[in-house]
Amino acid sequence: MAKMSFTYGLSLFFMSVIPGAWRRTAAGAGLLADDGTVAPTIFAEMSAAAARTGAINLGQGFPDEDGPAEVLEAARAAISAGANQYPPGRGLPDLLAAISEHQSRFYGLTVDPEREVIVTAGATEALTAALLALIDGPDDEVVVFEPYYDSYAAAVALAGARLVTVPLRAPDFQPDADRLAAAVTDRTRVILVNDPHNPTGAVFGREILAEIVRLADRHDAIIVTDEVYEHLSFSAPHTPIATLPGAASRTLTISSAGKTFSTTGWKIGWVHGPAPLITAVLTVKQYLTYVNGAPFQPAVAVGLRLDDRYFTEASETLARKHEVLGAGLRAAGFEVHVPQGGYFTVADASPLGGRDAAAFCRALPERAGVVAIPLSAFTSAHHRADYAGLVRFAACKRIEVLEEAAARLATGFGDRSSQRGRTA
Ligand SMILES: Cc1ncc(COP(=O)(O)O)c(C=O)c1O
């Protein structure tokens, strides 16, 4: 049989004749062209541009510093001690216990480590497994807040359901309660929440969280909540939606070690919720990956048991990085939307002639030596225009890298703060 090539651009003939769920997945992610070709994601395109031009990559959200030494050391020790074979399907018992302790310590949630939590290949697998487990046909709907983390639309499409979006609009990116109420119906199987929110940096107010719970209850929907930035909320401590009255019995809470311990490459995540929902997710998860990262699991258990100080400092450090990034963006002429949580700052490039943020971001590496992602990468095709001038910058980089990015932007666009200084 002839060897098939799936290289982007060379695969037109083969791709256009291959049936399967990949098509709706690619279409859901906005990557399928009319001629059947599949585009690379904007993240791959922009990372390639960074490598080609030597630009500072503020596109993808991964830290450029190692996480806590004791966590890294625990992984090395686990490998040396022989933790190199399949761990138990639900996860290492000590990590399950550490997740349960963490939820109790920070949020007062009671989680049975044996029945109500499983370890997954990052939050991404937890999300996809939950959607595949809970969705039962093309009439099912999943309500998401738009813009949304890119895997949501792809996974909803793979599961064969319909995506219903609730817009988050600048300046504060909080959902409108009426739009939310109109989106949730008896067809809603899942309300998918992400709080703190990527890409906008919004932290949902308690009232909107309560409204989500009320609507889920009224329409018998499951809440799936992605809380990977739980320890990176700047203005107030994070409120897991599962802590609201009436929520825990219908909520799957997802998180991950990647953001909290700067170990995004380890892909250790988890999901907890009522035992019947966890059984449903585990049923799917065990045939996706079966188990994950044996030596990383004890290391993440060490991380979850670190002193409160570690978690407070992680949030304070990132908030400082956002300040440096935001000051640089403002000085270059962007209008900055100050984030309340998470890795990203959103800025409006319209004052710099960047009303088409996608074109603006494609030109940015050459123009200023910086890579960023247009918000249109996180929206459905028919809502792109609503976010046209907005650009997402990752703040999870060393301060000196952010300062260098700020200097490059100032050079590329002219430093507005010093110009103001000169004319004043
Ligand atoms: C909102 C959100 N959810 C999930 C993920 C993926 O998490 P993981 O790497 O643990 O799969 C990310 C990573 O950027 C994210 O921003």
Nearest partner of 297 among 146, 4, 93, 133, judged by Cα? 93
CATH number at residue 325: 3.90.1150.10
The answer to whether 216 and 223 have CB atoms below 8 angstroms apart is: yes
End position of a domain, from candidates 272, 304, 336: 304
Nearest partner of 212 among 187, 184, 186, 238, judged by Cα? 184
Q: Are residues 179 and 50 in the same domain?
A: no
Which pLDDT band, with edges at 50, 70 and 90, does 5 fall under? very low
Environment class of residue 186 by beta-carbon count within 10 Å: exposed (0-12), middle (13-18) or buried (19+)? exposed
* Ligand 1 centroid to residue 340 C-alpha, Å: 17
Instruction: Inform me whether the pLDDT recorded for 34 exceeds 90.
Output: no
Nearest partner of 331 among 345, 357, 352, judged by Cα? 352
Pocket test for ligand 1, best of 152, 228, 231, 285 (most atoms within 8 A of CB): 228
pLDDT for position 2: 35
Report the nearest atom of ligand 1 relative to the CA of 264.
9
The domain total for the chain is: 2
364 occurs within a structural domain:
yes
pLDDT for position 17: 78
Q: Are residues 158 and 200 in the same domain?
A: yes
Which pLDDT band, with edges at 50, 70 and 90, does 36 fall under? confident
**Can you tell me the mean pLDDT for 207-232?**
98
Pocket test for ligand 1, best of 197, 198, 375 (most atoms within 8 A of CB): 198
pLDDT for position 277: 98
Q: Are residues 88 and 231 in the same domain?
A: yes
201 lines ligand 1 (CB under 6 A): no
216 occurs within a structural domain:
yes
Report the nearest atom of ligand 1 relative to the CA of 197.
1
pLDDT for position 418: 52
228 lines ligand 1 (CB under 6 A): yes
Give the separation between CA 143 and CA 215, rounded to whole angstroms: 11
Instruction: Inform me whether the pLDDT recorded for 1 exceeds 60.
Output: no
Tell me: the pLDDT tens digits for 236-261? 899 999 999 999 999 999 999 999 99
**Can you tell me the mean pLDDT for 357-362?**
96
Lay out the sheet containing 373-374: strands in order across: 335-337, 344-348, 390-394, 373-374
211 lines ligand 1 (CB under 6 A): no
Q: Are residues 336 and 221 in the same domain?
A: no
* Ligand 1 centroid to residue 62 C-alpha, Å: 10
Nearest partner of 299 among 136, 60, 119, 54, judged by Cα? 119
6 occurs within a structural domain:
no
Q: Are residues 78 and 225 in the same domain?
A: yes
**Can you tell me the mean pLDDT for 269-290?**
98
Q: Are residues 290 and 156 in the same domain?
A: yes
The answer to whether 345 and 321 have CB atoms below 8 angstroms apart is: no
256 lines ligand 1 (CB under 6 A): yes
Instruction: Inform me whether the pLDDT recorded for 100 exceeds 80.
Output: yes
Query: H/E/C letters for each residue in 246-314?
Result: CCHHHEEEEEEHHHHCCCCCCCEEEEECCHHHHHHHHHHHHHHCCCCCCCHHHHHHHHHCCCHHHHHHH
pLDDT for position 131: 98
122 lines ligand 1 (CB under 6 A): yes
**Can you tell me the mean pLDDT for 148-172?**
97
7 occurs within a structural domain:
no
Instruction: Inform me whether the pLDDT recorded for 6 exceeds 70.
Output: no
Q: What is the pTM of this model?
A: 0.94
Nearest CA to ligand 1 atom 9: 122
Q: Are residues 363 and 244 in the same domain?
A: no
Q: Are residues 292 and 318 in the same domain?
A: no
Containing structural domain, residue 398:
18-65+310-423
Q: Are residues 27 and 124 in the same domain?
A: no
Q: Which long-range contacts (CB under 8 A, 24 or more apart) does 39-45 make?
A: 39/8, 40/8, 41/150, 41/377, 42/358, 42/361, 42/373, 42/374, 42/377, 43/150, 43/373, 43/377
Pocket test for ligand 1, best of 60, 99, 124, 253 (most atoms within 8 A of CB): 124
Which pLDDT band, with edges at 50, 70 and 90, does 109 fall under? very high
DSSP code string of 316-366? HHHHHHHHHHHHHHHHHTPEEE--SBSSEEEEE-GGGT-SSHHHHHHHHHH
* Ligand 1 centroid to residue 258 C-alpha, Å: 8
End position of a domain, from candidates 304, 339, 371: 304
Report the nearest atom of ligand 1 relative to the CA of 198.
1
Environment class of residue 323 by beta-carbon count within 10 Å: exposed (0-12), middle (13-18) or buried (19+)? middle
Instruction: Inform me whether the pLDDT recorded for 88 exceeds 70.
Output: yes
End position of a domain, from candidates 304, 319, 342: 304
Q: Are residues 167 and 268 in the same domain?
A: yes
Report the nearest atom of ligand 1 relative to the CA of 125.
11
CATH number at residue 151: 3.40.640.10
Q: Are residues 76 and 213 in the same domain?
A: yes
13 occurs within a structural domain:
no
9 occurs within a structural domain:
no
Percent of the chain with pLDDT over 90: 89
194 lines ligand 1 (CB under 6 A): yes
Pocket test for ligand 1, best of 256, 260, 343 (most atoms within 8 A of CB): 256
Q: Are residues 120 and 245 in the same domain?
A: yes
* Ligand 1 centroid to residue 262 C-alpha, Å: 12
* Ligand 1 centroid to residue 227 C-alpha, Å: 9
pLDDT for position 33: 86
Residue-averaged pLDDT of the chain: 94
Report the nearest atom of ligand 1 relative to the CA of 268.
10
Report the nearest atom of ligand 1 relative to the CA of 61.
14
Please give the single-letter amino acid code of residue 128. T
The two three-digit tokens of residue 338, written as one number: 């100050």
4 occurs within a structural domain:
no
Instruction: Inform me whether the pLDDT recorded for 190 exceeds 50.
Output: yes
pLDDT for position 123: 98
pLDDT for position 15: 66
226 lines ligand 1 (CB under 6 A): yes
pLDDT for position 424: 29
